[in-house]
A = this chain, B = another copy of it.
C-alpha cells in the first residue's frame, strides 16, 4: 500500500484520472450484471405470478443502461480486454455476496436482495459523486431507483408487522447478510484505490487510511440502518 501523502499536498478537488473513470464505470456495469442475475434468480423463486413478473421486469430494467456504459468505456482508450477483465473481477466480487448467503425462505431472500442491493448502490453513489460530464450522467441513469426498495417494503412490511417472530428472525438475518455486504464493499474499496480516489474518500494513488476506511464503513452502515428502519427492523 502506498503511504498517504500529507494532507497539504492533496488538491482540494482531486482530478479524476482516466483509470478511475474506467473503474467507476466498470463497477456500474458489474453492478448491473450482478443485480440482473440476483433479481432474475429471485423472480424464479417468487411464490406467485405477479411477484415473478415484477422482479423479472426489474431485472431486465437493471440491464438497460449497460449498453451506454459499454460504449462510454470503449471510448476511454483502455483496451477492451482490460475493461472486460475489470468488469468481470468486480462482478465476481459482487457475486460472492450471493454464494456466501443462502436464504432459507422467500422472506430471507427478499431481505438479502434489499440489503445487498442497498449497500452496493451506496458504494456506487459514493463513487459516482466524484464523476463529472458524461460519466456522471451515465452513473445517474444507472443508479436511478429501480423500485426494488419500495417493492420490498410494501411486500415485507405488513408481514413483519403481523408476525413479530418473523421480524425478529429477519432482523438477525439482516445482520448476517449486511456483514457479508460490508465485507465485500470493504474489499472493493481497499483493493481498488482508484475507486476510493474517485469517491474523494482517499487521495489519488494512495490507499485508504484507517480513519478514511472507518468513515467509509460508517456511511454504509448508516445507509443500511435507514433501510432496516423502513422495514421496522433493528439494524
Contacts and interface: CB of A to CB of B under 8 A. Distances in A.
Given A36-B56, A57-B63, A60-B63, A84 B43 contact: no
Contacts of A91: 49
Prevailing SS type, chain A contact patch = helix
A37 interface: yes
A44 B44 CA distance: 13
Interface in A4-40: 33, 36-37, 40
Contacts of A48: 84, 88
A58 to B, nearest CB: 11
A66 interface: yes
Contacts of A64: 60
Of A44, A50, A66, A70, chain B has the most CB atoms within 10 Å of the CB of A44
A175 interface: no
A64 to B, nearest CB: 8
Count of this chain's copies in the oligomeric assembly? 2
A41 interface: yes
A50 B43 CA distance: 23
A87 interface: yes
A59 interface: yes
Contacts of A41: 40-41, 44
Given A60-B60, A63-B60, A52 B33 contact: yes
A70 B50 CA distance: 11
Given A40-B44, A60-B63, 16 more contacts: A33-B52, A33-B53, A36-B40, A36-B43, A36-B56, A37-B40, A37-B56, A40-B40, A40-B41, A40-B59, A49-B84, A49-B91, A53-B66, A53-B70, A56-B63, A57-B63
Interface of A: 33, 36-37, 40-41, 43-44, 48-50, 52-53, 56-57, 59-60, 63-64, 66, 70, 84, 87-88, 91
25 contacts: A33-B52, A33-B53, A36-B40, A36-B43, A36-B56, A37-B40, A37-B43, A37-B44, A40-B40, A40-B41, A40-B44, A40-B59, A41-B41, A41-B44, A48-B84, A49-B84, A49-B87, A49-B88, A49-B91, A50-B84, A57-B63, A57-B66, A60-B60, A60-B63, A60-B64
